[in-house]
Structure 1
């Protein structure tokens, strides 16, 4: 079939102009990037409640999906927890597709054209990220160096590397996988026009003005105004958060669409930063030293989500000499998860902490970016560190049962609904961080069978042990832009007999 790989071609042309030496590696990485994104998309087609998929039937060659328009889509049996690219192509009736963007366009579903464009960009950007990535054998010492190793982005989102609005030059200059140094600037704003939470440092004050740290991309493309030079920093996985040398992490209001949504820093997030930090510290103190919460030192918004910033502790402050702190997403870049004993120990630690906090009244958004693990000198997992409390869920009723005063907050963070609380934790921790670390249903099932029987009994343990696992319906969310907020699906429990193993 004839191909029109617009995003791939555009990036190739830009790359030839700005970094021609990287072009052969980029071209070589394209087939693998297509398969990686197609595997993520096929997972969504098989397991998400997409209204135009009317039936899913196993057949001799794998799985057949019946579409509402009468066509049939065929592909392999799908392991919802697999992170390796195992889908090389699918058949839409008799037409073969190995390109996820072309496949989605051919499906002709509502809002599919826009998402197909994102998938094309995801493929091209993923190939660029892989082409420019550096894979050192030694264990990094700097926190940003660990984050640089997470090249492929979200392990299950088809838009894993979609960065619309970022040119090739932008990606090379700001993408952590390329190892850049980013020169942050500041914008002065009269203090009486700002909302501040916590302590805003003297370094970022000038007379009656507050200096708001700004990402250079934000300054050029959104604020469209010059910034005063401030400090050099290293970008982390989230792209908009950067590590200052020897100092805190700076979360900037880089309002570009990354993976699922346009990110910014709302006034609600700034206002909630201090009480959430206080709550996090109180809860961490009840885990017997198994969890640390990075404190938000200060937060500010200058009346706009596009001009705001947070200063947060580096997770490295919670490492003793000889220990390493690394994001859970980076574990897959090491050999550690290949040891069943190690993976079981890590799973036990993560579930013990997550369930303990859930019982106390807080469901963490414990995916592989927010959750970090502290490793002893012998690489044993000993503690966890959690950062970015902006999207947790808080149950005032559960907190009250444990004698904890709920924070003076309202809005989206607050719920007593057990389904919402369990979705938040199980969807991010089990179907996200642990699944991404394990890499397959078989490996995840082994770790869960080893650890679940020995966990402290809480009301939330039985649903985790027996029920299908909740997971965000990431593709459904992108295809229903008129329904804001999270969409959900359920995945077969990795320990169930119906799960399909692809490893």
Structure 2
């Protein structure tokens, strides 16, 4: 077995100095973290259009990948919808690897060296995240940000699920939600005439003619390189750069670090369009699907200094109800109860396909999509947050007699009538992300969907979902193609065929 000790040893060394009480638990969590990341990498190797893989073959109870240079990679039979760590080792020719970083490095493919480093960070950070969890059973949280802390492993399918390059161990412990910190946001004063402000920026975030922009302390130290003070306590949410403020609102801050796939800046265009997108969502909301409203957004004209303030999803919970991010549902035990996954799939597909038919494709993965649960755990309604990456079809809206007054204010990048783009956005996130992540395997996803799709309205979108391979983002291909902008896609075997 081969292991790359670099990232793991670096974290172990920092941890020994900062939190020696976690050192033994961190070491014990490393094998499981390697398997979790290797499972995600094996999914990519077996299903993404990676140019250096010539063909894929079944081999007994496993699979063989034939590389263009003649080498072979052997591993277990792939399940593209599995979320458990079922891959503990794969073989490159006759050498077995349990460490995904070492495997990627030894594949020696274009841009693989940098990606191997990210995988090493992902393993080490995941082990650190797991080591920091409290032992024993925990009661269901009472606050929205407490649910966010339950998502320890990050993205269920991205091999870089916990990669946080540029974050020291001390910074991960201080800023990452799974470590349960309170983060002191800086408030950087910017002259009002130098800012773009949309919506109603609150009076308590103003100082005379100056606008006080919330700044993440990592951003202040590493990017802006100027002190911003610590005056606003926040609880970090799943995305790390978005925090729950006292009193309920959430603030999304600029964080110019690569987390998973993207650098988390906030573009000037996103600030300009924030309240228009929010107004469009309000027009399309119904009693099954709510959207968190954007209260205000601000930028000084650069993506490195900007913030978006939006309401908490908690405002859509009634007495005795809880609002839970879909990514946190596996930790509740609910998906394993008889009929629960099908009930949730019915709610999610009904809302998502109805909105797609009307002209809006949501990126409804497990982070953006939340579910309102009854006191007994039944899924009642959905809440969607962060509208920056939706797609809007003017033609579909018009076909249904919907002419939003804010349509001329929407940025060109979110407008498209291309059917493939709209379906990719909806199916890839809602089915390939949210529902697959909750059910956890191809068999469980199929069982949840089969009992639902026959009762849905018969539309061309539904026919595409049930009769064609499922489009999902090719997450590893994207990381190995730094010169190719935008999303790249692959198609997974349909869970319904």
TM-score, normalising length from structure 1?
0.97
Residues 184 and 229 of structure 1 are in contact (CA less than 8 Å); yes or no, is this contact kept in structure 2? yes
Q: Give the structure 1 partner of residue 353 of structure 2.
A: 355
In the alignment, the residues of structure 2 paired with residue 373 and residue 392 of structure 1 have an alpha-carbon distance, to the nearest angstrom, of 19
Residues 269 and 411 of structure 2 are in contact (CA less than 8 Å); yes or no, is this contact kept in structure 1? no
Shift of 1:247: 2.4
Q: Give the structure 1 partner of residue 388 of structure 2.
A: 390
Shift of 1:410: 3.3
In the alignment, the residues of structure 2 paired with residue 461 and residue 3 of structure 1 have an alpha-carbon distance, to the nearest angstrom, of 45
Q: In the TM superposition, what are the counterparts of 1:286-297 in structure 2 within 5 Å?
A: 287=286, 289-297=287-295
Give CA-to-partner distance per residue, 1:246-272, whole Å, 9 cap, x none. 220010001110000111100110011
Q: In the TM superposition, what are the counterparts of 1:216-231 in structure 2 within 5 Å?
A: 216-231=217-232
Residues 100 and 120 of structure 2 are in contact (CA less than 8 Å); yes or no, is this contact kept in structure 1? yes
Shift of 1:418: 0.6
Give CA-to-partner distance per residue, 1:204-237, whole Å, 9 cap, x none. 1111110000011111111110113321110000
Root-mean-square deviation (CA, aligned residues, Å) is 1.0
Residues 134 and 177 of structure 1 are in contact (CA less than 8 Å); yes or no, is this contact kept in structure 2? no
Three-state SS of the structure 2 residue aligned to 1:183 is strand
Does 2:412 correspond to 1:403? no
Give CA-to-partner distance per residue, 1:1-49, whole Å, 9 cap, x none. 5643100000000000111100000000000000000000000000000
Shift of 1:291: 0.8
In the alignment, the residues of structure 1 paired with residue 262 and residue 157 of structure 2 have an alpha-carbon distance, to the nearest angstrom, of 15
Structure 1, unpaired ranges of 5+: 497-503
Q: Give the structure 1 partner of residue 415 of structure 2.
A: 414
Three-state SS of the structure 1 residue aligned to 2:159 is coil
Three-state SS of the structure 2 residue aligned to 1:425 is helix
Residues 2 and 98 of structure 2 are in contact (CA less than 8 Å); yes or no, is this contact kept in structure 1? no
Q: Give the structure 2 partner of residue 143 of structure 1.
A: 144
Does 2:178 correspond to 1:177? yes
Q: Give the structure 1 partner of residue 474 of structure 2.
A: 473
Three-state SS of the structure 2 residue aligned to 1:36 is helix
In the alignment, the residues of structure 2 paired with residue 216 and residue 60 of structure 1 have an alpha-carbon distance, to the nearest angstrom, of 52
In the alignment, the residues of structure 1 paired with residue 73 and residue 459 of structure 2 have an alpha-carbon distance, to the nearest angstrom, of 42
In the alignment, the residues of structure 2 paired with residue 2 and residue 358 of structure 1 have an alpha-carbon distance, to the nearest angstrom, of 47
Give CA-to-partner distance per residue, 1:117-142, whole Å, 9 cap, x none. 00000000000000002364211011
Three-state SS of the structure 1 residue aligned to 2:85 is coil
Q: Give the structure 2 partner of residue 4 of structure 1.
A: 4
In the alignment, the residues of structure 2 paired with residue 229 and residue 49 of structure 1 have an alpha-carbon distance, to the nearest angstrom, of 46
Shift of 1:166: 0.3
Residues 340 and 447 of structure 1 are in contact (CA less than 8 Å); yes or no, is this contact kept in structure 2? no
Aligned equivalent of 2:299, options 301, 314, 322: 301
In the alignment, the residues of structure 1 paired with residue 338 and residue 472 of structure 2 have an alpha-carbon distance, to the nearest angstrom, of 24
Q: Give the structure 1 partner of residue 315 of structure 2.
A: 317
Residues 134 and 149 of structure 1 are in contact (CA less than 8 Å); yes or no, is this contact kept in structure 2? no
Q: In the TM superposition, what are the counterparts of 1:416-431 in structure 2 within 5 Å?
A: 416-431=417-432
Residues 185 and 234 of structure 2 are in contact (CA less than 8 Å); yes or no, is this contact kept in structure 1? yes
Shift of 1:61: 4.3
Three-state SS of the structure 1 residue aligned to 2:78 is coil
Q: Give the structure 1 partner of residue 455 of structure 2.
A: 454
Does 2:92 correspond to 1:104? no
Three-state SS of the structure 2 residue aligned to 1:196 is strand
Which shows bigger deviation, 133-142 or 428-437? 133-142
Q: In the TM superposition, what are the counterparts of 1:14-93 in structure 2 within 5 Å?
A: 14-93=14-93
Q: Give the structure 2 partner of residue 238 of structure 1.
A: 239
Which shows bigger deviation, 142-151 or 57-66? 57-66
In the alignment, the residues of structure 2 paired with residue 471 and residue 133 of structure 1 have an alpha-carbon distance, to the nearest angstrom, of 31
In the alignment, the residues of structure 1 paired with residue 236 and residue 431 of structure 2 have an alpha-carbon distance, to the nearest angstrom, of 27
Which shows bigger deviation, 221-230 or 117-126? 221-230
